[in-house]
Amino acid sequence: MAITAKMVKELREKTGAGMMDCKKALQETDGDMDKAIDFLREKGIAKAAKKADRIAAEGLTHIEVDNNTAALLEVNCETDFVTKNDQFKELLSELGKHLITQQPANVEEALQQKLHGEGDTVETFINSAVAKIGEKITLRRFTIFTKTDNDAFGAYLHMGGRIGVLSVLEGTKDEELGKDIAMHVAAVNPRYISREAVSEEEVNHEREVLKQQALNEGKPEKIVEKMVEGRLGKFFQEICLLEQDFVKDPDQKVKKYVADKGASVKAFVRYEVGEGLEKREENFAEEVMSQIKK
């Protein structure tokens, strides 16, 4: 019988399984809803769906590099214990390879793609891992970078992947330099590459805040503007990579350190596991900084 979108939607609501998995189950059972549910349970997919309402804020980041393409991804699970599981680590590796070769635009597209371009979908692959490992597992986010033969990637994972950073440097093939910049980003957590990348709106907002602070301190209005510009410099230093003191050599800025080696920073991305999902007491950035300075 013909499988309708309404039937797929109903089965998905009952089991929580992925759309393509539901469609396949209905096709295999000739549209019988109860048999389709059993089909998904037998495959371990419905079992995975039962875990869908659990909180998955642990996990790891992973970096996969293949020639001129690299991907940083974050996969979440429920407990830190699972991150030590070889099956979980294999899952990270397979997902990383898939992202590099198939280059989906977003997580939703990635989940519906066939793993490595053939066989089951990525969503089914993850659900199969859930059934084996016994915890909710989600592909939360990823970033894919490409470079030329004359550029370098910098890859750094802290604590085995609790923080992951991927950088792209132009004008150099020095991957160690790229890694140094990635380590700095892990430790200091800048938001932008340079002050030029900060929006005018954000700068103007900060300028107004600093101006009001100075006036509230009782500073004469005639020197307030000069004070604000000076404090804006500190603001840029806090959020812009190139303005910051390099963690491995605090006597010079990142901008000079990179430029002296004939390179420039094209891009970077930093993921910290669980950020935005729940508040953590641990300050991973401070820990990275302390390890680098040892």
- Note the pLDDT tens digit of each residue in 63-100: 999 999 999 999 999 999 999 999 999 999 999 999 99
> 54-146 adopts what CATH topology?
Tetrahydropterin Synthase; Chain A (3.30.479)
What is the overall mean pLDDT for the chain?
91
pLDDT digits (tens, 9 = 90+) for 109-119: 999 999 999 98
Report DSSP state, residue 218.
T
- Fold equal for 54-146 and 148-198+240-294: yes
Write down the CATH number for the domain with range 148-198+240-294.
3.30.479.20
- Out of 3.20.20.70, 1.10.286.20, 1.20.120.340, 1.10.540.10, the CATH code matching 199-239 is 1.10.286.20
- Domain residue extents for the chain: 5-49, 54-146, 148-198+240-294, 199-239
Could you give the percent of the chain with pLDDT greater than 70? 92
What is the average pLDDT across 234-240?
96
Structural contact between residues 285 and 189, judged by C-beta atoms closer than 8 angstroms: yes
| Among the listed residues 163, 189, 179, the one whose alpha carbon sits nearest the alpha carbon of residue 241 | 189
Q: Between these two residues, 292 and 210, which has the higher pLDDT value?
A: 210
CATH topology for the 5-49 domain: Helicase, Ruva Protein; domain 3 (1.10.8)
Yes or no: say if 289 and 188 are a contact pair by the CB < 8 Å rule. Answer: yes
pTM: 0.78
Question: What are residue 169's DSSP bridge partners?
Answer: 152, 265
